[in-house]
């Protein structure tokens, strides 16, 4: 596999996003509205206690700021279902390029672009909420967050890809995305840290990879996990990425046998 | 245009949209399943909070369940009717497709409120929402005042639709496709008891974007926890928003430039 062509695709994806930077910024700003309720809600829950399940009030506020920023940037829908439906995929079947790697290159550019353009917004929020945040001074925490975020990007991309490829079997599989997105967000801990969920729900979450795309990242960043658990979490991310990649490749091969290039 | 003609158009739109949904029956069931899962997750979220605290903003769990049920009910009714129409407005303005509707003998804002309705999408959500409200009311042990609740619910829907119209009109001045998304995010702030908010934010959510009147007042009315003065205030607010929304729409429509024409 020649990496140069995928690097060029990454560059194309970055430039495409640059064209729609205002649109991206507005979306990030709108996502921040949810922080208002989260801030007041947890202020109310913490009114007569110092900690809940090991989280201080400052840690909870920091949790939502970082998880909100990360998910607004790295959890992006990809157009696989639409491209299968419209026959767009056909173009890549006759070219010396892998469609899966093509999609990954563009998707990676999109997600990294949003991480970068979201930084000023994140900085603004950090300044506004500075008195309510948990300070993270350990430089290693930033490195762990970077590594874990990369693992999370891969897992989320592969899940998106697999769901999108369901279009090979039934029309309008976009509807499935709405459902899976909600499940992913929930078990990643965007609504509430996974460790605060009822035990039975946590048990379900343990069998899914999504915990390692949200709560794990923030707990690692805030130093809530010992080094051994961080290493274990990163290893779990790698195993899930490998499993999902194998599943995606198998689904792609089987799906292509059913592909009718309708609309191409 | 007379009400009778609107009702006839309403029936035809409903029939057309049902046929359209039946064309993708699998998608319908998946979307319905997804919506119900979404609702379940929100309930689990609040359940998780109530495992750690007994009150949120002074509201116990049963009242918050009524609040959530009311939130889901209003969202379901709005998405099944007017939001779908007003969601298309930025695209129609951008492409000049609004001409097609403006040349028809029908009041546009009323027509858009039901043209893209989804009568099938409506029912599963409504059933779950009503179930939540009934369960919450039963658990609260308070005497239920259904008529009072329905009055406040009607006011809530009028304010909600007016807000949707007001946000949509921004597109006549500058096209921002995310306006409905922004309105939705602001309205989501009403999923929580208004009493958790403080200071300027609470004032903003009570008067400017009154999610307090939309979501927090009907549950209080149901369990007899709302004064007549507050109910009167909600009725006045609904009337103000209705007339303000319509007036703003009429003024903004004059800004439409019809890019095709």
Q: Do A172 and B182 touch (CB under 8 A)?
A: no
In a domain, A203, yes or no: yes
Q: Do A45 and B201 touch (CB under 8 A)?
A: no
Contacts of A31 in chain B (CB under 8 A): 185
Q: Are B86 and B169 in contact (CB under 8 A)?
A: no
Beta bridge partners of A56: A51
Contacts of B33 in chain A (CB under 8 A): 179
The pLDDT assigned to B1 comes to 62
Contacts of A183 in chain B (CB under 8 A): 37
Percent of chain B that is helix, strand, coil (3-state, to 5) = 80, 0, 20
Pick the range with the lowest mean pLDDT from A129-143, A151-165, A177-191, B8-22: B8-22
Between residues 145 and 174 of chain A, which touch chain B (CB distance below 8 Å)?
Answer: 170-174
The arithmetic mean of pLDDT across residues B54-82, rounded, is 94
Contacts of A33 in chain B (CB under 8 A): 182, 185-186, 188-189
Tell me how close the Cα of A49 comes to any Cα of chain B, in angstroms: 10
Q: Which two tokens stand for residue B169?
A: 């009109």
Give yes or no for residue A243 having a pLDDT over 80.
yes
Please give the C-alpha separations between residue B5 and each of B10, B14, B189, B218, in angstroms, as whole numbers: 8, 14, 37, 32
The parent domain of residue A96 ranges over 3-258
Domain ranges (residues) in chain B: 3-253
Mutate to test the interface with B, among A40, A42, A50, A177 (most CBs of B within 10 A): A40
Contacts of B53 in chain A (CB under 8 A): 45
- Going by pLDDT thresholds of 50, 70 and 90, the confidence category of residue B261 is very low
Q: Do A44 and B49 touch (CB under 8 A)?
A: no
Mutate to test the interface with B, among A28, A32, A41 (most CBs of B within 10 A): A41
Give yes or no for residue A209 having a pLDDT over 90.
yes
Contacts of A186 in chain B (CB under 8 A): 41, 44
Q: Are B153 and B72 in contact (CB under 8 A)?
A: no
Which residue of A lies nearest to B189 if distances are taken between CA atoms? A37
**pLDDT > 90 in chain A, percent:** 54
Query: Residue for token digits 């469609």?
Result: A99
Q: Are B259 and B96 in contact (CB under 8 A)?
A: yes
Task: Look at chain A and report how many structural domains it folds into.
Answer: 1
Residue count of chain A: 264
The pLDDT assigned to B198 comes to 92
Per-residue pLDDT tens digits for A15-70: 877 777 777 777 777 878 888 899 999 999 998 888 998 999 999 999 999 999 99
Q: What is the mean pLDDT of chain B?
A: 88
DSSP-derived 3-state class of residue A260 = coil
CB pairs under 8 A between A and B: 96
Q: Are A152 and A220 in contact (CB under 8 A)?
A: no
Query: Residue for token digits 């800004």?
Result: B255
The arithmetic mean of pLDDT across residues A157-167, rounded, is 92
The arithmetic mean of pLDDT across residues B232-236, rounded, is 95
Q: What is the mean pLDDT of chain A?
A: 89
Tell me how close the Cα of B3 comes to any Cα of chain A, in angstroms: 35
Contacts of A43 in chain B (CB under 8 A): 196
In a domain, A122, yes or no: yes
Q: Do B37 and A182 touch (CB under 8 A)?
A: yes
Please tell me if residue A41 touches chain B, with a CB cutoff of 8 Å.
yes
**pLDDT > 90 in chain B, percent:** 53
Contacts of B211 in chain A (CB under 8 A): none
Q: Do A171 and B24 touch (CB under 8 A)?
A: yes
Which residue of A lies nearest to B179 if distances are taken between CA atoms? A30
In a domain, A263, yes or no: no
Mutate to test the interface with A, among B24, B25, B26 (most CBs of A within 10 A): B26
Q: Which two tokens stand for residue A94?
A: 């006759």
Radius of gyration of chain B (CA): 19
Q: Do B192 and A40 touch (CB under 8 A)?
A: yes
């Amino acid at each position: 596999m020649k990496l140069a062509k995928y690097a060029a695709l990454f560059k194309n994806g970055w430039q495409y996003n640059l064209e729609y930077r205002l649109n991206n910024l507005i979306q990030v700003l709108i996502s921040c509205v949810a922080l208002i309720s989260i801030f007041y809600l947890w202020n109310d829950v913490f009114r007569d206690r110092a900690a809940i399940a090991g989280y201080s009030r400052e840690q909870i506020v920091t949790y939502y700021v970082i998880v909100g920023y990360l998910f607004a940037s790295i959890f992006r829908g990809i157009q696989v279902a639409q491209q299968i439906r419209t026959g767009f995929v056909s173009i890549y079947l006759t070219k010396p390029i892998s469609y899966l790697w093509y999609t990954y290159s563009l998707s990676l550019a999109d997600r990294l672009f949003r991480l970068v353009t979201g930084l000023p917004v994140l900085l603004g929020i950090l300044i506004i909420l500075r008195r309510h945040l948990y300070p993270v001074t350990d430089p290693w925490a930033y490195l762990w967050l970077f590594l874990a975020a990369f693992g999370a990007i891969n897992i989320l991309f592969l899940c998106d890809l697999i769901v999108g490829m369901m279009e090979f079997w039934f029309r309008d599989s976009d509807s499935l995305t709405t459902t899976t997105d909600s499940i992913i967000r929930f078990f990643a801990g965007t609504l509430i840290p996974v460790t605060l969920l009822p035990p039975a729900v946590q048990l379900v979450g343990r069998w899914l990879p999504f915990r390692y795309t949200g709560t794990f990242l923030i707990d690692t960043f805030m130093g809530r996990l010992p080094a051994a658990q961080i290493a274990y979490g990163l290893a779990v991310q790698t195993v899930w990425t490998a499993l999902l990649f194998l599943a995606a490749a198998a689904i792609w091969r089987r799906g292509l046998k059913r592909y009718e290039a309708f609309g191409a | 245009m007379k009400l009778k003609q609107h009702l006839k158009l309403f029936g035809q739109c409903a029939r057309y949209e049902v046929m359209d949904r039946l064309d993708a029956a699998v998608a319908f069931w998946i979307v319905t399943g997804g919506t119900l899962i979404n609702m379940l997750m929100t309930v689990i979220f609040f359940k998780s909070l109530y495992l750690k605290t007994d009150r949120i903003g002074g509201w116990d769990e049963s009242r918050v369940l009524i609040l959530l049920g009311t939130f889901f009910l209003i969202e379901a009714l709005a998405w099944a009717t007017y939001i779908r129409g007003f969601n298309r407005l930025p695209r129609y303005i951008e492409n000049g497709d609004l001409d097609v509707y403006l040349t028809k003998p029908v009041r546009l804002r009323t027509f858009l409120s039901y043209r893209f309705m989804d009568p099938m999408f409506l029912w599963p959500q409504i059933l779950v929402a009503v179930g939540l409200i009934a369960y919450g009311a039963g658990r609260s042990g308070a005497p239920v005042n259904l008529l009072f609740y329905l009055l406040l619910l009607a006011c809530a829907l009028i304010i909600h639709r007016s807000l949707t119209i007001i946000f949509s009109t921004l597109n006549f001045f500058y096209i921002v496709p995310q306006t409905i998304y922004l309105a939705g995010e602001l309205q989501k702030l009403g999923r929580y008891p208004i009493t958790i908010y403080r200071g300027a934010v609470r004032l903003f959510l009570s008067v400017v974007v009154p999610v307090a009147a939309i979501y927090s007042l009907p549950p209080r009315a149901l369990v007899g926890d709302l004064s007549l003065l507050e109910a009167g205030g909600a009725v006045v607010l609904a009337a103000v928003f209705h007339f303000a929304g319509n007036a703003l729409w009429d003024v903004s429509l004059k800004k439409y430039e019809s890019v095709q024409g």
